Amino acid sequence: MTTTTTPHIRPQTVSAQIPEVPLTTEGYSVLHQMMRFRWTAWRALPEGTRSAITQEAASALGEMEQRSGGQSALFSLIGHKGDLMLVHFRNSFADLNQAELNLAGLRLSEYFEPTSSYLSIIELGLYDSTVKIYKELTAQGIQPYSDQWKAEIESQLARHREAMHPRLFPEIPPHRYLCFYPMDRRRGEAKNWYTLPIEERARQMNDHGLVGRRYAGEVKQIITGSIGFDDWEWGVDLFADDPLVFKKLIYEMRFDHVSAVYALFGQFYVGVRCPAGALGKLLSGEVPK
């Protein structure tokens, strides 16, 4: 008697069924503006003219520092990459553009020479929550990317946005020093972050975050997403009163697996905070205090 056998069908794993892209929540739009200052032309101006221009700019910067819907801050850059860096937090890209236009309208802007800029948006990555949510929805038989799936995801994200509002829409930390750098996750023939299963990426990011949390009392970190907005994938702002903590934190993170294997870093910018009230001293050649 001839019998037929049904071929064994290997069931799909959950990770094969669920999407690979982690969920994120977003807050303030962020713009970094790096520029040189035309010192020679500035010093050639009469003292009275310099004073009037400085007062106009200090008044405008003071208002931008105190905005309730996203602030601005000025930093005096250390090194050859520029003289000044302005950081803007705003509710939208249109508001960032308005901040640019407002600065361009100041007489002081005639002495600015842009060297670089970086556009991004404050981002909280939800790797652990993503895996949990995806598995729960899949277990309920909800089809990925269906209308029901999207509604459930949005409901979860809305709760997270509400709970994390202070982190998504923070004030610019008042610390004396800022370190900013962009970064990518490695993509290459041997190592490609984006080919790892989402569960493995979640595990590695959890371990990575443990390093940063050990410095919670010394440094304030703000991560911004820039995929589709600028040349790198993320921007990192570190604020501290002692710049040595930047070296210690970033060096320790180099030994973490996700950084050691997959991280690529852009240029680093380190600056000293210049409050609007200290602009006159800065433009007179004094370190702001």
Is 28 considered catalytic here?
no
Which residues have CB under 8 Å from 271's CB, separation 6+?
Answer: 75, 76, 77, 78, 85, 177, 178, 180
At 185 the three-state DSSP class reads strand
| Local structure of 114: helix, strand or coil | strand
Query: Which amino acid, residue 196?
Result: L
CA 7 vs CA 4, 11, 12, 160, 238: distances in Å: 9, 12, 15, 45, 57
**Active-site annotation holder among 134, 177, 181, 269:** 181
User: How deeply is 2 buried, as exposed, middle or buried, from its count of CB atoms within 10 A (0-12, 13-18, 19+)?
Assistant: exposed
Exposure string of 58-96, with b = 16+ CB inside 10 Å and e = fewer, is bebbeebbebeebbbbbbbbeeebbbbbbbbbbeeeebb
Cβ-based neighbours of 240, under 8 Å, separated by 6 or more: 175, 176, 177, 179, 218, 219, 220, 246
- Count CB atoms within 10 A of the CB of residue 283: 21
Q: Which residues are catalytic?
A: 181
